[in-house]
Structure 1
Amino acid sequence: MTTLPLVGIGVTLRNRAEYLPEALDSLLAQSYRNIRFVLVDDGSTDQTETLARAYAARDSRVRYVRFPERRGMVAAWQAAFEEASRDGAVYFAWGSDHDRWHPNWLETLVATLEAQPDVMVAYPLTQRMNPKGEEQAKPGRQFETAGIADRGARWALFNRSDSVAAGDMVYGLMRASAVRDAGIFREVLCPDRLLMAELTLRGQIRQVPEVLWYRRQFETGSVERQRSTLFAPGTRPPSAWTAPWYLHARSLWANYVRETHPTVPIPRAEARRLVVTYAAAYAWRHYAKSTVQRGLLSVLGWPRWIYKRIKHCVLLAVYGVLVAARRIGLTPIVERLLGRSNRVRGRNHA
């Protein structure tokens, strides 16, 4: 009998006790059975710990790990990977404490990776839900590089496509060895996108054309919000002036251009070109966003704002001088002088 490959699933937890039972029940109900679950609690302050410990007590596949205080998403996601993959897991996936998975989700994705060794990550179509669990009309993005053997062609497609949803892909099933070689979850803004980019260097991305994951959507995510959620309290996050594309480019340059023995053997000239094209495409996309544009305009608008305020103050000062002049009787004298001057000019013209 063929042994099924071991899959490690690292579920990060943070104050979503209301939705946790639904999420864990759907993961534990997977038709694929050779799984190890690790629940990593990033210092939750609600009933998350009580619920998670109860699941670990009644299912031997589940283990619970708790941070005594919040360390941020990067640390939690890194720990989830390390803990869930340490027993020799061939494949790995991150899970959340508020989403829902179809019973055939894992079986379908394992079969995809088993059949296509050049695929590094497989993920399904996504169905969005609101906080109440009601399905939303918003369609899931469709993107894949399956069947594209040329690294440059995959990279170009990843860079130029508007359909790359790294936040969906990162919850797919990945080859654990590839994730480790790609740095797992680097300490940058938008680390999910950087991970998908680094996996693109290694192989293909496959999207299964079935809705197998139901993603609960809360407030809209933003880069500014990540500056406080990704990193531990008390640590210095990237400056508000530091864009994600720059952090990604710097990381890629360090790991694939400057590194003497990179995990992907790419000729240095090609690596430089790949990093530059990635940075240019990502920067263009980043600054094209309306929220970023508003932020830039708010900064670039300072000179105009200062000019308007100075002009306003000057006009008020002139008005005040004219009012004061009228009050002390200077205005009638000036008017008579101007009137006399006009009459003199009129006689001269005549």
Structure 2
Amino acid sequence: MEYPLVSVIIPVYNMEAFLAEAIDSVLASTYPNFEIVIIDDGSTDQSPVIAETYSAKDQRIRFYRQPNRGVSAARNLGLEEARGEFVLPVDADDKISKYYLEAAAKVLIQQPQVKIVTCEYECFGEKQGKGKYRPYHRKLLARKNVINNCSMFRRADALKVGGYSEEIIGREDWELWISVLKNGGEVVHLPEIGFYYRIRSNSKRISDRKLKKHIIDVLNRRHKAFFYRELGGKLHYQRSLSQLFNFFIHLYKPETFFVSPNFKEEEEFFYSLPDIFDKQGETIHSGRNTIKIFDVENEKWVVKSFQLPNVVNRFVYGIFRKSKARRSYEYALKLLSLGISTPHPIGYYEQKIFFLFDKSFYVSVMSECNHRFEELIRDVNFPDREKILKAVARFTAELHEKGVLHSDYSAGNILFSYTNDDINIELIDLNRLKFGKISKVAGCRNFERLNLEPGALKIMAEEYAVARGFDKQECVELVLQYRWKKHKTINS
């Protein structure tokens, strides 16, 4: 049997009275392949001397020091310095059973779907007795920390989620368990006692109880999507009543978060949108609607916030009609299924207040097309302009042949990129699409918002006619006829 290296991380802050006991309990382990990584967090007592003495005697023990930055920062330094595949955090005033490393590592070796192995524990010190065990499930994890802090996990899983949060002061292990488990993974509870938890009136866990509001606020900010999935809304200060409170809140202010299955790993950003949209992101359009760019996991996402409708339309959208954000998402999927290019949709958000529609967002991946059709209008000397106009005309014909009519087919909603041999075209602003058979007249009229000079429109009309098998002259006449009157005074 192989024995992957287990790194036991012991953070230390002024624990001279207990540190040796903690180290000795690990050294007594039956598991043959482990290391101890001790991180001193700016102790002012003899803890560093004790740690250095042990590390000098046993090459399996390594000792590091840092200025006082808190237990999360100490554990994160331990994660960085650890060499093991598996990690077991042990507080400097606690102890472990000599069989715990072996039993926990065996589970992780044999069951790759398991992310965390925990155990029964026993209290000692100022209070004795067996600790309470609550069977793990995610809905319960959303309300309380049901996994003890001395539990084994894969180092890679912890690093993937950024390790322990240094933002939270108290219950940092609860935050890590949520980070590791919120998107899946199993927890195994060993039936035997593997960990001995020292009860002290001045221990950190006791003092953390005073930080309840801070802890819950940070958890809600970092894991909004998780709590909304498991509790129907945020975690409340009265944690056990969270689902009941959220039920009534949802009756008054229902929200819909829909994220494409392809982007589930980034849904925390999506759920945070209502809170961060006004404060973050790069604004690229501000008018009736607002469009911003956000950097998410090394990718640029475009978020469109739709203007609040008038009272009548708020009622209509609140009850009878799909929102513009939802239509944008569903229409994007439909276009892609038809082989028509548009930026890949990520999801949408809707909020109502009672029966009145309130706010909404549509989110997509940022297009790789770096030009808009309006550049062809402004610059009659744009490189390969005629070639691009013909390509857009063929793209328009393809839309119509596939039964798609864009009711706002304007210069700002057609994107393109080009090289000498290739022209890529994408359609955006999709909430006003119509589907069905597109006649010659309706198709030619669809060019009416493109503010081009007559010669350019003639080029497009002829190319469109050829692509759809219509008479060239008839299409030219129809396109010029339906050109918006306000455009006819420009570039005539």
TM-score relative to the length of structure 2: 0.45
**Is 1:214 the counterpart of 2:196 in the alignment?**
yes
Aligned to 1:28: 27
**Cα displacement (A) at 1:220:** 6.1
Aligned pair count? 239
**Is 1:196 the counterpart of 2:174 in the alignment?**
no
Aligned with residue 95 of structure 1, among 90, 97, 112? 90
**What is the rounded CA distance, in whole Å, between the counterparts of 2:35 and 2:95 in structure 1?**
18
| C-alpha contact 1:11 1:38 (8 A) present in aligned 2 | yes
**Is 1:246 the counterpart of 2:217 in the alignment?**
yes
| C-alpha contact 1:249 1:276 (8 A) present in aligned 2 | no
Aligned to 2:142: 159
Backbone CA RMSD of aligned residues? 2.8
Aligned to 2:55: 56
The code of the aligned residue for 1:142 comes to: Y
The code of the aligned residue for 2:132 comes to: R
Task: Give SS of 2:234's match.
Answer: helix
Task: Give SS of 1:180's match.
Answer: helix
**Cα displacement (A) at 1:199:** 2.4
TM-score relative to the length of structure 1: 0.61
The code of the aligned residue for 1:155 comes to: R
The code of the aligned residue for 1:279 comes to: K
**What is the rounded CA distance, in whole Å, between the counterparts of 1:26 and 1:13 in structure 2?**
16
Aligned with residue 75 of structure 2, among 56, 74, 77? 77
**Is 1:105 the counterpart of 2:104 in the alignment?**
no
**Is 1:178 the counterpart of 2:157 in the alignment?**
yes
**What is the rounded CA distance, in whole Å, between the counterparts of 1:122 and 1:114 in structure 2?**
11
Structure 1: tracts of 5 or more residues without a match: 146-153, 229-239, 258-270, 289-350
**What is the rounded CA distance, in whole Å, between the counterparts of 1:78 and 1:15 in structure 2?**
19
| C-alpha contact 2:142 2:230 (8 A) present in aligned 1 | no
Task: Give SS of 2:142's match.
Answer: helix
Aligned to 2:131: 140
**What is the rounded CA distance, in whole Å, between the counterparts of 1:31 and 1:174 in structure 2?**
18
**Is the alpha carbon distance of 1:227 and 1:99 closer, same or farther for their aligned partners in structure 2, counting shifts above 3 Å?**
closer
**Cα displacement (A) at 1:156:** 2.0
Task: Give SS of 1:66's match.
Answer: strand
**Is 1:279 the counterpart of 2:234 in the alignment?**
yes
**Cα displacement (A) at 1:272:** 7.7
**What is the rounded CA distance, in whole Å, between the counterparts of 2:108 and 2:59 in structure 1?**
26
Deviations 1:136-158 (A, max 9, x none): 13x3121344xxxxxxxx42243
**Is the alpha carbon distance of 1:287 and 1:74 closer, same or farther for their aligned partners in structure 2, counting shifts above 3 Å?**
farther
Structure 2: tracts of 5 or more residues without a match: 243-492
Task: Give SS of 1:283's match.
Answer: coil
**What is the rounded CA distance, in whole Å, between the counterparts of 2:187 and 2:163 in structure 1?**
16
Runs of at least 4 residues off by over 3 Å = 220-228, 240-243, 275-278
| C-alpha contact 1:248 1:279 (8 A) present in aligned 2 | no
Aligned to 2:315: none
**Cα displacement (A) at 1:278:** 6.4
**What is the rounded CA distance, in whole Å, between the counterparts of 1:215 and 1:208 in structure 2?**
16
**Is the alpha carbon distance of 1:242 and 1:124 closer, same or farther for their aligned partners in structure 2, counting shifts above 3 Å?**
closer
**Cα displacement (A) at 1:64:** 0.6
**Is the alpha carbon distance of 1:20 and 1:200 closer, same or farther for their aligned partners in structure 2, counting shifts above 3 Å?**
same
Deviations 1:41-72 (A, max 9, x none): 011111111111111011011111012x3222
**Cα displacement (A) at 1:191:** 1.9
**What is the rounded CA distance, in whole Å, between the counterparts of 1:244 and 1:214 in structure 2?**
25
The code of the aligned residue for 2:239 comes to: R
**Is the alpha carbon distance of 1:223 and 1:250 closer, same or farther for their aligned partners in structure 2, counting shifts above 3 Å?**
farther
**Is the alpha carbon distance of 1:224 and 1:34 closer, same or farther for their aligned partners in structure 2, counting shifts above 3 Å?**
closer
**Cα displacement (A) at 1:4:** 1.2
The code of the aligned residue for 1:196 comes to: W
| C-alpha contact 1:23 1:100 (8 A) present in aligned 2 | yes
**Is 1:38 the counterpart of 2:18 in the alignment?**
no
**What is the rounded CA distance, in whole Å, between the counterparts of 2:27 and 2:193 in structure 1?**
18
**Is the alpha carbon distance of 1:241 and 1:178 closer, same or farther for their aligned partners in structure 2, counting shifts above 3 Å?**
closer
**Is the alpha carbon distance of 1:286 and 1:17 closer, same or farther for their aligned partners in structure 2, counting shifts above 3 Å?**
farther
Task: Give SS of 2:51's match.
Answer: helix
Task: Give SS of 2:237's match.
Answer: helix
The code of the aligned residue for 1:38 comes to: V
Deviations 1:223-269 (A, max 9, x none): 894499xxxxxxxxxxx79532221121124xxx6xxxxxxxxxxxx
**What is the rounded CA distance, in whole Å, between the counterparts of 1:203 and 1:42 in structure 2?**
32
**What is the rounded CA distance, in whole Å, between the counterparts of 1:193 and 1:38 in structure 2?**
22
Task: Give SS of 2:108's match.
Answer: helix
Task: Give SS of 2:141's match.
Answer: helix
**Is the alpha carbon distance of 1:222 and 1:97 closer, same or farther for their aligned partners in structure 2, counting shifts above 3 Å?**
closer
**Cα displacement (A) at 1:25:** 0.8
**What is the rounded CA distance, in whole Å, between the counterparts of 2:187 and 2:212 in structure 1?**
32
**What is the rounded CA distance, in whole Å, between the counterparts of 2:176 and 2:5 in structure 1?**
22
Q: Percent identity?
A: 25
Task: Give SS of 2:189's match.
Answer: strand
Which protein is richer in helix relative to its size?
1
Which protein is richer in strand relative to its size?
2
Aligned to 1:318: none
Aligned to 1:124: 119
| C-alpha contact 1:10 1:83 (8 A) present in aligned 2 | no
**Cα displacement (A) at 1:12:** 0.6
